[in-house]
């Protein structure tokens, strides 16, 4: 079975690992390759702050709720292992702040210790009048991608740096299954009017005294457009930019100022922080993520495709549940090719 | 009005904060800190500085709570100001866990810290040997940064510094009118208080910046306190032990106990061992004493014996000490009353 995963961000690499783990021992041969034109530290995953947190409102696809939960549980089980730090994984607690009362999020029972903020806690943030406190996870993109790359390399998965121009080009190379994890650039392989970039810019600072995440919300202007401060393993990510349709990869001075002023107002101690870097990335925004099978006809032959892209700003948050589902779809392909029989209770 | 000359003996967190309070609250006074050790060589410098009070046997709970609340509120306003980093104060959340359900399930300080609640079952799952716990947000006061910051504040108020070992309080008379004794463990010799004894504490300072929460065993013997520059792992409580040299066996034991609570610490690096001798005493001594000898008089305010809980109550106690100094100062200024001392 020849499989090519296109894309080496968190979706591509985790899907590759999941499929390998589940099927390599039951298939006669599994030749798994990863094609990508960008690898860590140049992917969008690398720019993400890495806080596990789905959007506030329930997803339009109810399956996404389960995928979020599966991802949290999977990551939590690794938190207590000595590998946690290498994976870029850490527990983190913090604040979600609002200008008005809001309903509890659908994920309140997934995270740990979810509760509303007390009046004295709100005194710490004078611009906000309502909020939550809970314990979640950080999964730092760069470390996690390095870790996934190591695991895949150990298992003999090969990586190729190449810019794929079309799915046909890959199919013609004699591939049985293509897994399309091209994220925000999926439209170049197959037009998708529902997919657009949600441009984000972030500033990384050294501020090791900050131990909590602080995410503010402006319900009118939309998700990720209000200041957020998210500590990582070594640096703290400051953000608050989400520009739909903007493909500019250059850091903007205006956005820098918006982020800096907003975050310093939220956390005055930041004025002591040294800037360690500034980055731009593109959230692959879509009304719901695309995770489904497709068939590609090239001449008389047909190649199986599994699309797994469009995870918006919650890719790290939902990645493992999606990888498991992609592996399920892969299993169905194998069944149809009579290479494998699914066990009666669906995995 | 003559300037009242105040000497504060001791430059740990208690001495420095008391000196600052006196400089701020007592009118027409000069404050001089006299100590043989200054930061970074004081006992306070070894403390992790987490704000979790230790119950004192003989002091009314209401008083202890007031001291803690005053300290918490004072540091809280520093933590949300732009001064926070210079003062070394920041918010920290975490868990206090118990192997058996404690008799006191809600401690007296629960409504002083932020967001205090019982841990959920899901949260306790990661500590398989523990059955109960508290989750809350408190403050960490990094003493190695806070003490220099207090020294700066004292200088701004015109405070003076003298590096000298005081063997007898009477050495300070007649240069000073009031002596505030914040000599901690040193009071055992300085004023002959045999109720003061060392409680040796050994800690490790490691690099593990991914640890964002404190974890404290309810007994207080094992703890993980992440700070701005390192994580403090502890500890020990060795009564009557004067040994300031770190013990390698103890370090291994501390590391092992902490890794049991937080396995990711195994990847921590750059380990420094430190030892501090807590000023143990059955309770904090915070009171005036009028000394007299050969017709000489000396007003003393004793302020020592904070054991493991110095940082947690330092500001509330310092305010009380400053009030006592003020009483002494007023008494000194009223000629009719001088004979009453």
Question: Has residue A301 been placed in a domain?
Answer: yes
Q: How far is CA B35 from CA A156, B88, B276, B298, B307, in A?
A: 66, 23, 17, 19, 19
The residue written with tokens 């207590």 in the block is A80
- B289 phi and psi angles, rounded to 5 deg: -145, 130
Question: Has residue A114 been placed in a domain?
Answer: yes
Q: Which residues are CB-neighbours of A177 under 8 A, at least 6 positions away?
A: A1, A2, A3, A4, A303, A304, A305, A306, A330, A333
Candidate from B76, B117, B210 with C-beta closest to A90:
B210
Question: Has residue B134 been placed in a domain?
Answer: yes
pLDDT of residue B333: 83
Q: How far is CA B202 from CA B62, B145, B214, B243, B302, in A?
A: 31, 20, 18, 10, 27
pLDDT of residue A59: 83
Residues in B touching A91 (Cβ below 8 Å): 212-213
Q: Which residues are CB-neighbours of B38 under 8 A, at least 6 positions away?
A: B11, B151, B161, B163
Read off the pTM.
0.94
Question: Has residue A288 been placed in a domain?
Answer: yes
**Could you tell me if A208 and B229 are in contact, meaning their C-beta atoms sit under 8 angstroms apart?**
yes
Lowest-confidence range among A25-29, A235-239, B62-66, B166-170?
A25-29
For A260, the domain range is: 2-337
pLDDT beneath 70, residues of chain A: 340-347
φ/ψ region of B296 (left if φ > 0, alpha if ψ in -120 to 50, else beta) reads beta
For B88, the domain range is: 4-196+281-333
> pLDDT-based confidence at B270, cuts 50/70/90?
confident
**Distance, CA of A292 to CA of A170 (rounded, Å):** 19
Question: Has residue B256 been placed in a domain?
Answer: no
Residues of A with CB under 8 A from a CB of B: 79-82, 84-86, 90-93, 112-113, 115, 117-118, 120-121, 124, 133, 135, 138, 208-212, 231, 233-234, 268-269, 271-272
Cβ within 8 Å, pair A269-B90: yes
- Nearest residue in A to B134, CA atom: A113
Cα-to-chain-centroid distance, residue B185 = 12
DSSP state of A51: B
pLDDT of residue A274: 96
Question: Which CATH number belongs to the domain containing residue A313 in this structure?
Answer: 3.40.50.720
CA proximity to B150, closest of B87, B89, B91:
B87
Cβ within 8 Å, pair A121-B115: yes
> What's the token pair of residue B196?
């003061």
Question: Has residue A346 been placed in a domain?
Answer: no
Name the minimum distance, in Å, from the CA of A83 to any CA of chain B.
7
Q: Which of B129, B208, B264 to mutate to test the interface with A (most CBs of A within 10 A)?
A: B264
Q: Which of A94, A121, A269, A274 to mutate to test the interface with B (most CBs of B within 10 A)?
A: A269
> pLDDT-based confidence at B277, cuts 50/70/90?
very high
**Could you tell me if A242 and A198 are in contact, meaning their C-beta atoms sit under 8 angstroms apart?**
yes
**Distance, CA of A284 to CA of A315 (rounded, Å):** 9
Question: Has residue B298 been placed in a domain?
Answer: yes
pLDDT of residue B190: 96
**Distance, CA of B39 to CA of B143 (rounded, Å):** 9
Name the minimum distance, in Å, from the CA of A89 to any CA of chain B.
8
Cβ within 8 Å, pair B212-A231: yes
- Nearest residue in A to B210, CA atom: A233
Question: Has residue B303 been placed in a domain?
Answer: yes
Q: Which of A135, A205, A237 to mutate to test the interface with B (most CBs of B within 10 A)?
A: A135
Cβ within 8 Å, pair B267-A85: yes
Cβ-based contacts under 8 A for chains A and B = 91
- Nearest residue in A to B94, CA atom: A93
DSSP secondary structure string for all residues of B15-34: HHHHHHHHHHHSSSEEEEEE
Residues in B touching A84 (Cβ below 8 Å): 210, 263-264
Tell me the pairing of strands B178-181 and B238-239.
unpaired
How many structural domains compose chain A? 1
Burial class (CB in 10 A: 0-12, 13-18, 19+), A119: exposed
Question: Has residue A167 been placed in a domain?
Answer: yes
Which tens digits make up the pLDDT trace of B82-97?
Answer: 899 999 999 999 999 9
Question: Has residue B272 been placed in a domain?
Answer: no
Residue B339 above 60 pLDDT? no
Question: Has residue B234 been placed in a domain?
Answer: no
Residue B269 above 90 pLDDT? no
Candidate from B86, B119, B209 with C-beta closest to A233:
B209
Cβ within 8 Å, pair A86-B212: no
The length of chain B, given as a count of residues: 341
**Could you tell me if B206 and B231 are in contact, meaning their C-beta atoms sit under 8 angstroms apart?**
yes
The answer to whether B269 faces chain A, any CB pair under 8 Å, is: no
**What value does the mean pLDDT take over residues B144-164?**
97
Question: Has residue A343 been placed in a domain?
Answer: no
Name the minimum distance, in Å, from the CA of A281 to any CA of chain B.
24
Cβ within 8 Å, pair A84-B263: yes
CA proximity to B21, closest of B332, B328, B321:
B321
**Distance, CA of A78 to CA of A81 (rounded, Å):** 5
ipTM value of the model? 0.92
How many structural domains compose chain B? 1
pLDDT of residue A38: 96
pLDDT of residue B205: 97
**Distance, CA of A223 to CA of A317 (rounded, Å):** 15
Q: Across all residues in chain B, what is the average pLDDT?
A: 95
B147: helix, coil or strand?
helix
Question: Has residue B292 been placed in a domain?
Answer: yes
Cβ within 8 Å, pair A86-B267: yes
Residues in B touching A268 (Cβ below 8 Å): 80-82, 84
The residue written with tokens 């860590």 in the block is A40
Residues in B touching A139 (Cβ below 8 Å): none
Name the minimum distance, in Å, from the CA of B93 to any CA of chain A.
7
Question: Which CATH number belongs to the domain containing residue B136 in this structure?
Answer: 3.40.50.720
| Strands (DSSP E) found in A117-154 | 130-139
Question: Has residue B203 been placed in a domain?
Answer: no
CA proximity to A304, closest of A329, A339, A340:
A329
The length of chain A, given as a count of residues: 347
Candidate from B120, B208, B228 with C-beta closest to A112:
B120
pLDDT of residue B1: 64
């Amino acid at each position: 079975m020849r499989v090519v995963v296109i894309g080496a961000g968190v979706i591509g690499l985790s899907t590759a690992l999941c499929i390998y783990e589940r099927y390599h021992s039951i298939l006669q041969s599994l030749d798994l390759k990863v094609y990508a034109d960008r690898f860590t530290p140049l992917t969008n995953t690398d720019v993400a702050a890495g806080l596990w947190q789905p959007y506030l409102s329930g997803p339009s696809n109810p399956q996404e709720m389960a995928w979020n939960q599966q991802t949290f549980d999977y990551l939590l089980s690794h938190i207590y292992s000595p590998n946690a730090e290498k994976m870029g994984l850490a527990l983190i607690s913090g604040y979600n702040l609002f200008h008005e009362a809001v309903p509890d999020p659908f994920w309140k029972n997934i995270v740990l210790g979810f509760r509303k903020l007390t009046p004295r806690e709100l005194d710490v943030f004078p611009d906000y009048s309502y909020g939550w406190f809970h314990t979640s996870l950080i999964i730092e993109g760069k470390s996690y991608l390095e870790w996934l790359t190591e695991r895949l390399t150990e298992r003999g998965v090969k990586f190729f740096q190449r810019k794929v121009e079309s799915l046909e080009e890959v199919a013609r190379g004699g591939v049985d299954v293509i897994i399309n994890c091209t994220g925000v650039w999926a439209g170049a392989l197959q037009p998708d009017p529902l997919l657009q970039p949600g441009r984000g810019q972030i500033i990384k600072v050294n501020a090791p005294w900050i131990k909590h995440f602080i995410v503010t919300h402006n319900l009118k202007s939309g998700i990720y457009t209000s200041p957020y401060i998210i500590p990582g393993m070594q640096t703290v990510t400051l953000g608050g930019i989400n520009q739909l349709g903007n493909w500019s990869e250059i850091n903007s001075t205006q956005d820098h100022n918006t982020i800096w002023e907003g975050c310093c107002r939220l956390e005055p101690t930041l004025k002591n922080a040294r800037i360690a870097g500034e980055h731009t990335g593109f959230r692959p925004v879509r009304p719901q993520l695309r995770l489904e099978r497709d068939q590609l006809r090239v001449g008389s032959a047909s190649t199986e495709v599994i699309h797994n892209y469009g995870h918006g700003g919650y890719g790290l948050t939902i990645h493992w549940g999606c990888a498991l589902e992609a592996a399920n779809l892969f299993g169905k392909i194998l069944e149809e090719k009579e290479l494998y029989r699914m066990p009666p209770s669906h995995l | 009005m003559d300037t009242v000359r105040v000497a504060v003996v001791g430059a740990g967190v208690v001495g420095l904060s008391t000196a600052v309070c006196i400089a701020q609250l007592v009118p027409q006074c000069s404050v001089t800190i006299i100590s043989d050790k200054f930061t970074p060589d004081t006992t306070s410098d070894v403390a992790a500085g987490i704000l979790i009070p230790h119950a004192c046997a003989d002091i009314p709970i209401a008083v202890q709570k007031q001291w803690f609340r005053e300290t918490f509120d004072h540091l809280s306003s520093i933590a949300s100001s732009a001064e926070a980093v210079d003062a070394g104060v920041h918010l920290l959340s975490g868990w206090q866990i118990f192997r058996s359900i404690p008799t006191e399930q809600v401690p007296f300080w629960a409504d002083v810290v932020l967001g205090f609640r019982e841990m959920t079952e899901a949260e306790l799952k990661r500590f398989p040997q523990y059955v109960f716990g508290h989750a809350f947000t408190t403050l960490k006061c990094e003493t190695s940064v806070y003490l220099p910051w207090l020294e700066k504040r004292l200088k701004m108020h015109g405070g003076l510094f003298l590096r000298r070992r005081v063997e007898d309080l009477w050495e300070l008379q007649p240069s000073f009118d009031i002596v505030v004794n914040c000599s901690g463990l040193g009071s055992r010799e300085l004023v002959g208080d045999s109720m003061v004894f060392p409680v040796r504490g050994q800690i490790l300072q490691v690099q593990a910046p991914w640890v964002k929460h404190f974890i404290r065993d309810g007994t207080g013997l094992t703890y993980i306190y992440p700070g701005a520059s390192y994580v403090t792992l502890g500890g020990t409580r060795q009564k009557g032990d004067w040994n300031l040299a770190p013990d390698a066996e103890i370090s291994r034991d501390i590391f092992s106990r902490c890794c049991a609570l937080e396995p990711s610490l195994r990847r921590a690096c750059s380990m420094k061992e430190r030892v501090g001798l807590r000023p143990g005493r059955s309770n904090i001594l915070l009171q005036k004493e009028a000394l007299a000898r050969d017709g000489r008089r000396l007003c003393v305010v004793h302020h020592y014996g904070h054991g493991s809980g110095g940082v947690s109550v330092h500001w509330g106690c310092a305010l009380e000490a400053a009030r006592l100094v003020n009483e002494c100062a007023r008494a000194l200024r009223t000629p009719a009353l001088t004979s009453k001392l």
